[in-house]
Amino acid sequence: MLLKVDHVTIKFGGLIANNDVCFEVEEGDIFGLIGPNGAGKTTMFNQITGVYKPTSGHIYLNDRRIDGLMPHQINQAGIARTFQNINLFGKMTVLDNVKVGCMSRSKKGLLSAILRTRSERQEERAIIEKSIRILEFMGIADLKGAVAGSLPYGKQRLLEIARALASDPKLLILDEPAAGMNTAEKAELAKTIQRINKDLGLTVLLVEHDMKLVLGVTNKICVLNYGKRIAMGHPEEIVHNEEVITAYLGGEKHG
């Protein structure tokens, strides 16, 4: 079991944003976390990534409790994330954005960086090579010298995923990655998620509104509504679940 959310509840004053939520993400899954607006998806996401601490219940990564850790500690433990609102270093180059992701795994301290020691120079070369490999995998290596903020929207999304991959995560969490994308960009994104899962062997947790994307790439889905889990199962089970149809699909079945 890679990720376990164990009876997690979080309260903000009198509001219960997540209520006794449980789910497990197996290694190798593309796992979807879905639900209508206000269902508690983002709140759950923020607890997994360390932005919030649960009021009760626990979250485990590889059987290690991570609830209560700081976001950078959770990243070091093996969880990388993207953001619903793109969060790139807009004035830096594409390559430098990915290098920043690699730096979270750097073992060199400030002194060696200042003195430019031999080992520090070797590590920097390795980081550049690794960053370029990631950009090649994402299909945007030709843009490595471009300023990140100048990229088309869909390419910025791919760059943000590339930067997350640079930290060598065990679990990649994508927060509404299709937001703002056109149909062609969404199709490219779906293929990218599947390649990340298959070719890199990464487990993916996808928080997404686009049902076509979710149903097309995931092997398991958890559905939240009003902060509670109302269903969990394979996509074909979820899409025919009457409670899910009522809560999230507006009464329409997606075949």
The pLDDT tens digits along the chain (255 residues) read 999 999 999 999 999 999 999 999 999 999 999 998 889 999 999 999 999 999 999 999 999 999 999 999 999 999 999 987 888 999 999 999 999 988 876 555 545 555 566 777 788 899 999 999 999 999 999 999 999 999 998 999 999 999 999 999 999 999 999 988 899 999 999 999 999 999 999 999 999 888 889 999 999 999 999 999 999 999 999 989 999 989 865 544 443
pLDDT at position 123, please? 82
pLDDT at position 121, please? 78
pLDDT at position 249, please? 57
pLDDT at position 248, please? 64
Chain position carrying tokens 């969880």: 79
* Alpha carbons 199 and 193: distance in angstroms, whole number: 10
**What single-letter DSSP state applies at residue 117?**
-
pLDDT at position 83, please? 85
pLDDT at position 103, please? 81
pLDDT at position 21, please? 98
Angle (CA) 2-42-8 rounded to 5° is: 55
* Alpha carbons 208 and 85: distance in angstroms, whole number: 13
Residue environment code for 62-96, b if the CB has 16+ CB neighbours within 10 A, otherwise e: eeeebbebeeeebbebbbbbbebebebeeeebbbb
pLDDT at position 255, please? 39
Number of H helices, E strands in the chain: 10, 10
pLDDT at position 112, please? 54
pLDDT at position 115, please? 58
Supply 14's token pair. Answer: 């009198």
3-state secondary structure of 75: helix
Answer yes or no: are the C-beta atoms of 26 and 60 closer than 8 Å.
Answer: no
- Give the distance from CA 7 to its chain's centroid: 21
pLDDT at position 114, please? 57
Return the amino acid letter for 153. Answer: Y
